[in-house]
A and B are shown apart, each in its own frame.
Chain A
Amino acid sequence: MLTGLLLLLAVVAASPARAERLVTDLSDNMIDINARFSGTDLMVFGAIDMDIPQDDGGHGVVVEGMDYDMIVVVTSDPKDMMIRRKERISGIWVNKGMEELSGVPGYYALGTTRHLDDLLAPAVRKQYQIGLDNISLPLSQGLDAEEREGYRAGFIRNMKAKGLYKEEFGNINMREGILFWARMYFPANMPVGDYKTTVYLVRQGDIVLSRTTGLHVDKVGLERMIYNFAQQSPAAYGLVAILVALVAGWLGGFLSRKVS
């Protein structure tokens, strides 16, 4: 905690003196999940401004000769999730263990200019929860180290398999040390809610600056209507589902008798 605070202070203290500025944006700040949705790409892009005039808050000196790296992290709102473990009981694989995880990202994607190990020290990665290994999972205290690791790895594997967690190294493109862009993919099963896209500017193993952009993901149109209806008024939804089935079934039968 203390080191975290010191690091944060260091970042805050360091940035005005060097006077870089980071400008970031997304190609879209909304993702609409409709019936045709099968995943989408968004472009995270921006520029590093290294020459900020004095009257604009900088010291008027061009910051040069430094190698910058970037990290992009996209996360969804924290969600409550559950992980179950199967065990063999008299020959059959049965769900046995269970862990409830409250407040974990339902979506986590990371992009970088280079391999993460070459960019940031492990402590910094942990502090900012950068990288799949550093996402904190609130597992029960009662678990032993081996069980913890099992659940942790199992959770990450599952989320990776669903395409909801991913790390991609070297997918951020930089042009002339100023302009950068990365294409981030969002799968069809992405959770709805508010997302954060944070771009970190890294220099010599430290995070110099970060900028966060919001992203809103929601089901729209019929998808949203059906989902909300099912969740908010389940009894009415059930009745409508029955009515739709009765009408569709009757109509289908009627049409097929006409045809034959």
Chain B
Amino acid sequence: MQIYLPIAELSINIFVLLAMGGGVGFLSGMFGVGGGFLMTPLLIFAGVPPAVAVASEANQITAASVSGALAHAQRGGVDYKMGFVLIVGGAFGSYAGAWFFAVLTESGQVDLMISIAYVIFLGGIGSLMFVESVITIIRRRRGDKPKPGRRPRTWVDALPFKMRFRKSKMYISVLLPLVIGALVGAMAALMGVGGGFIMIPAMVYLLNMPINVVIGTSLFQITFVTAGVTFLHSVNTQTVDMMLALILLIGAVVGAQIGVRVGAKLKGEQLRILLAVLVLAVCAKMGVDLVVQPDELFAVFPAAEGDVH
């Protein structure tokens, strides 16, 4: 059954969209990742204009992260003060990102930027994940114990503007969380991702936050930042397709449930290797598309699209 997407202005099979939502939801349930970094490229491969894919995916991530954030909040798994600092950073980052996105849309380079950003990030994260899981597997075979959690004191502790975060039992500079928040906000605006795959490692390894508040605080920040991004893209480029976001969400909710159950039966490292391979495959496809001569060198757009006022 075809469904017409009002903002993307194309007709697409609703079952294809549900399957994409379900598939990515399944993976995010299984691996505990947000899935935006897979969904946006998939939408682009499916023919959705990249700008619409990014903006609508930000909208979908708001929906996908709110229930998780609420669940963690009920269990006391959110450091609100830290969340607030991250959101302030996120607000600056997403504002700058959305502005840059609108400028790039105007100059016709937004698709290129999205592809390059994906190739860099997916390539980087995918390789790291792959290497890390291979090392973990090798260590496990040898019977080594994993290293203890908390990092030693570093340059992070020397930064000024310190603030006390009671929930996380930390006394650290606000500069680093602001920068991390801003980076994630910019990524949300430019790539249509929640940024959890950057933020969670950063919170664990850089900020040294306790594990029990990391995911909740990350989801808390992502909900607010992607909501902000949705608003900015709606105003700047009118590229948020509510219908698309909702259909993807329905698939994702169902898929995530199944994913969580399947994931519980599989081994962590093997799962991560699988995810790494998947991420690298998407990265490779986008990278190849950048360098191989396209069949069609010309592309037509409505002139009004993406005018920056």
Contact of B235 with A234 in the complex, beta carbons under 8 Å: yes
Encode B145-188 as 1/0 by CB contact (under 8 A) with A. 00000000000000000000000000000000000000000000
Inter-chain contact B257/A245, CB cutoff 8 Å:
no
- A141–B276 Cα gap in the complex (Å)? 51
CA distance A38 to B303 in the complex (A): 24
Distance of A86 Cα from B297 Cα, bound (Å): 5
Residue contact B302 to A80, C-beta cutoff 8 Å: yes
B117 at the binding interface (Cβ < 8 Å): no
Among B36-44, B80-88, B135-143, B245-253, the stretch that binds chain A is B245-253
Q: Is residue A161 within 8 Å, beta carbon to beta carbon, of the partner chain?
A: yes
Whether A95 touches B108, Cβ cut-off 8 Å, given contacts A82-B301, A189-B10, is yes
Task: Give the residues from 138 to 176 in chain A that come closer than 8 angstroms, CB to CB, to chain B.
Answer: 150-151, 154-155, 157-159, 161-162
Residues of A within 8 A of B235 (CB): 234-235, 238
Cβ-closest chain A residue relative to B8: A189
Give the residues in chain B near A241, CB-CB below 8 Å: 59, 230-231, 234, 240, 242, 245
Q: Is B227 an interface residue (CB 8 A)?
A: yes
Contact B68 A81 (CB under 8 A): no
A107–B11 CA distance with the chains assembled, in angstroms:
17
| Residue among A87, A91, A234 making CB contact with B291, cutoff 8 Å | A91
Contact with B along A240-251 (1 / 0, CB 8 A): 111011101110
- Complex interface: chain B residues within 8 A of A237 (CB): 234, 238, 240
A162 / chain B contacts, CB cutoff of 8 Å: 300
Cβ contacts A192-234/B at 8 Å (1 or 0 each): 0000000000000000000000000001001110110011001
Please give the distance in Å from A144's CB to the nearest CB on chain B: 17
Q: Which residues of A contact B231 (CB under 8 A)?
A: 235, 238-239, 241-242
Binds B, one of A19-27, A28-36, A64-72, A108-116: A28-36
Please tell me if the beta carbons of A93 and B234 are within 8 angstroms of each other in the complex: no
Q: How far is the CB of A221 from chain B (nearest CB, A)?
A: 10
Q: Considering residues A39, A86, A94, A242, which has the most beta carbons from chain B within 10 angstroms of its beta carbon?
A: A242
Known: A102-B303, A189-B9. A151 touches B249 (CB 8 A): no
Asked if residues A234 and B238 are in contact (CB atoms below 8 Å), the reply is yes
> Is B301 touching A231 in the complex (CB atoms < 8 A)?
no
Q: Mark B283-309, 1 if CB is under 8 A from A, else 0.
A: 000000011011011111111110000
* Chain B residues closer than 8 Å to A2, beta-carbon distance: none
Q: Does A128 contact B (CB under 8 A)?
A: no
With an 8 A cutoff between CB atoms, is B33 at the interface?
no
- Which of these, A82, A188, A226, contacts B11 with CB under 8 Å? A188
A-B contact count (CB 8 A): 192
Instruction: Find out whether the CB atom of B240 lies under 8 angstroms from the CB atom of A238.
Output: yes
Identify the closest chain B residue to A188 (Cβ): B11
Q: Which of A5-13, A46-54, A252-260 contacts B (4 or more CB under 8 A)?
A: A252-260
Residues 42-85 of chain B, each 1 if its beta carbon lies under 8 Å from chain A, else 0? 00000000000000000110111111101100000000000000
How many whole Å from A150's CB to the nearest CB in chain B? Answer: 8
Give A75 to B68 CA distance when docked, in angstroms: 50
Complex Cα–Cα for A39 and B299 (A): 22
Task: Check B303 against A100 for contact (C-beta < 8 Å).
Answer: yes
Within 8 A of B (CB), among A90-146: 91-95, 98, 100-102, 106
Contact of A85 among B60, B240, B298 (CB under 8 A): B298
- Residue B131 at the A interface, CB < 8 A? no
How many Å from the CB of A78 to the closest CB on chain B? 11
A242 and B11 form a contact (CB under 8 A): no
A234 to B242, CA, bound (A): 12
Which residues in B have their C-beta under 8 angstroms from that of A257?
Answer: 71
Collect the chain B residues with CB atoms within 8 Å of residue A246's CB: 62-63, 66, 223, 227
Instruction: Give the complex CA separation of A189 and B248 in angstroms.
Output: 21
Partner of B109, one of A83, A95, A161, A256: A95
Shortest C-beta distance, A164 to chain B (Å), equals 9
Please state if B246 and A93 are interface contacts (CB–CB under 8 Å): no
Cβ of A101: which chain B residues have Cβ within 8 Å of it? Answer: 303
Inter-chain contact B62/A227, CB cutoff 8 Å = no
A100 to B302, CA, bound (A): 10
A249 B67 Cβ-Cβ under 8 A:
yes
Determine if A185 is an interface residue (Cβ-Cβ < 8 Å).
Answer: no
Q: Determine whether B125 belongs to the interface, using a CB cutoff of 8 Å to chain A.
A: no
Interchain CB contact (< 8 A) of B303 among A33, A34, A80, A260: A80
A-B contact pairs, 25 of them (CB 8 A): A35-B3, A36-B4, A37-B2, A79-B303, A80-B302, A82-B300, A83-B299, A84-B298, A86-B299, A92-B116, A92-B290, A95-B108, A100-B303, A222-B243, A223-B6, A234-B235, A235-B234, A238-B232, A241-B59, A241-B240, A244-B246, A245-B59, A245-B62, A245-B66, A248-B249
Known: A231-B238, A248-B246. 18 other contacts (CB 8 A): A79-B303, A80-B302, A82-B301, A93-B293, A93-B294, A154-B296, A158-B298, A219-B6, A226-B7, A227-B7, A230-B6, A230-B238, A230-B240, A235-B234, A238-B230, A240-B242, A253-B70, A256-B257
Closest A-B pairs by Cβ, 4 of them? A253-B67, A154-B298, A238-B234, A188-B11
